[in-house]
A = this chain, B = another copy of it.
Amino acid sequence: MNIAEIAKLAGVSSAAVSRYFNNGRISEEKREAIRRVVEETGYRPSVQAQTLRTRKTKMIGVIVPKVASASIGRVVEGILSVVNESGYQMLLSVTQNNPEKELEYLSVFNHKQVDGVILVATIFSEEHKQALRHMKVPVVIVAQELSGFPCVYHDDYRASYELTRLLFEKGRKILGYISAIREDRAVGEERFLGYRDAVRDLGYGCLAEHYVISSFAMESGYEKTGELLERFGRPDGLVCATDSIAIGAMQYLREHGFRIPEDVLVAGHGDSTLSRVTSPPLITVHYSYKESGEIAVQMLFELLNTGETAQREVKLGFYIREQ
């Protein structure tokens, strides 16, 4: 069932049928005739033929490091809610934290597979920037600032600074920090710097150098807490780059006889469901992940329609959640 058959049934030309679907000029009688035939046959124009002709795929590509993650899941949900409302489709690829796959998918999407790309990023190599510069379709970056590119991200630095300040305000004197890998700019680097600067500014005598580096797994948080204590002694406050790490830390501490929060106050980032179920609940930072996905799509659509975004960078707020 193609446009020509519909045209014949309705007694019009295929151009008329095309105009019917694309709000072109068409007389009332023909419109009605076509409407009737379309209804009877259940005809729908072929998406692939339209795509071939118009060079618009009505799809956007999304690249994420993984999908079974609370924060990224929420970003994806935000993206999807806007995308589907607009009659677009979402093509999803996960890199499993493999930078090469990231480049590969960028290249695949670049080859006319999609109208635009949203990249939920963690790490940027020179190669990444090269690849991004050579993209023929617009790209919006989420979760990371990259100057010169449209991006939407959170103020991880200030969040971490404020979180650390809160621990000092609660009377803690000796802090420790468990970082994520520093190559991850937002989660690794920015959050660490926020912590470090807060300690330098507010922590009389407390050393910002008392930190270890963990992977994203809870188990790693557990392990690295042991390492932290061994190398730098016992803190009375512990800031962790993510909630998962913080939960691992809490478990280690509890198993080794520390009372929480009396002996050690533990804080994380992300406001994950996890953070609410521990007792006591973790002190954590809430980021609006879903919103960041929604905004990213809106920016992308703007780029698609006008060729540029008014707002090239969007920095989103946060709040600290206690209890």
Contacts and interface: CB of A to CB of B under 8 A. Distances in A.
Interface of A: 44, 46-49, 51-52, 57, 59, 66-70, 73-74, 76-77, 80-81, 84, 89-94, 96, 111-113, 218, 244, 247, 251, 254, 273-274, 276-279
Nearest to A276: B218
A303 B125 CA distance: 41
A225 to B, nearest CB: 14
Interface centre among A69, A73, A274, A277 (most CB of B within 10 A): A277
A266 to B, nearest CB: 12
A90 B108 CA distance: 13
A136 to B, nearest CB: 12
A47 B277 contact: no
B112 A93 contact: no
A66 B77 contact: yes
A274 B276 CA distance: 10
A218 B275 CA distance: 13
Contacts of A74: 68
Nearest to A52: B48
Contacts of A277: 218, 247, 251, 274, 277-278
27 contacts: A46-B52, A47-B111, A47-B112, A47-B113, A48-B51, A48-B57, A49-B52, A51-B51, A52-B52, A59-B91, A66-B77, A67-B67, A67-B76, A67-B77, A67-B80, A73-B73, A76-B92, A80-B94, A84-B94, A89-B91, A89-B113, A90-B92, A91-B91, A218-B273, A218-B277, A251-B277, A277-B277
A80 B68 contact: no
Given A52-B48, A92-B80, A277-B278, A68 B70 contact: yes
A112 B279 contact: no
A257 to B, nearest CB: 14
Contact of A80 (B70, B93, B111, B244): B93
| Smallest CB-CB A-B distances: 5 pairs | A68-B73, A48-B51, A48-B52, A68-B74, A92-B92
A178 to B, nearest CB: 16
A18 to B, nearest CB: 16
Contacts of A89: 91, 93, 113
Contact of A44 (B57, B93, B111, B273): B111
A185 to B, nearest CB: 23
